[in-house]
């Protein structure tokens, strides 16, 4: 069986980013969402796992709870940065 390598933090950040962006009044266009996700991922340690596809979802769920506080802090900081200097014109 082939193994896959996955940064679990990527899924955790993406799962939280858009919801938090809406709550905090941040634009959710593709550019802003990408910037928030990229910024947050650069500010949390990666959590790579090698696992079979069937086991991936269970691992993601476990890591999501364990690292949620770190992710929330990083996403909040990312939202503040993106809101201050969005890469798009005001709409």
**How confident is the model over 16-64, as pLDDT tens digits?**
999 999 999 999 999 999 999 999 999 999 888 776 665 666 666 666 6
Full-model pTM: 0.80
Is residue 91 one of the residues assigned to a domain?
no
Is residue 90 one of the residues assigned to a domain?
no
6: enclosing H helix or E strand = strand 4-7
Note the pLDDT of residue 68.
Answer: 81
Note the pLDDT of residue 24.
Answer: 96
pLDDT of 9 > 80? The answer is yes
Q: Are 73 and 20 in contact (CB under 8 A)?
A: no
Calculate the alpha carbon distances from 72 to 45, 64, 87 in Å.
13, 11, 22
Number of domains in the chain: 1
> Domain range for residue 62?
4-84
């Amino acid at each position: 069986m082939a193994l896959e390598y996955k940064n679990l933090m990527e899924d955790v950040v993406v799962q939280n980013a858009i919801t938090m962006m809406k709550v905090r009044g941040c634009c959710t266009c593709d550019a802003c969402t990408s910037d928030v996700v990229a910024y947050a991922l650069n500010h949390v340690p990666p959590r790579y796992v090698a696992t079979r596809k069937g086991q991936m979802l269970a691992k993601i769920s476990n890591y999501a709870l364990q690292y949620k506080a770190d992710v929330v802090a990083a996403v909040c900081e990312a939202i503040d940065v993106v809101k201050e200097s969005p890469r798009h014109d005001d709409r």
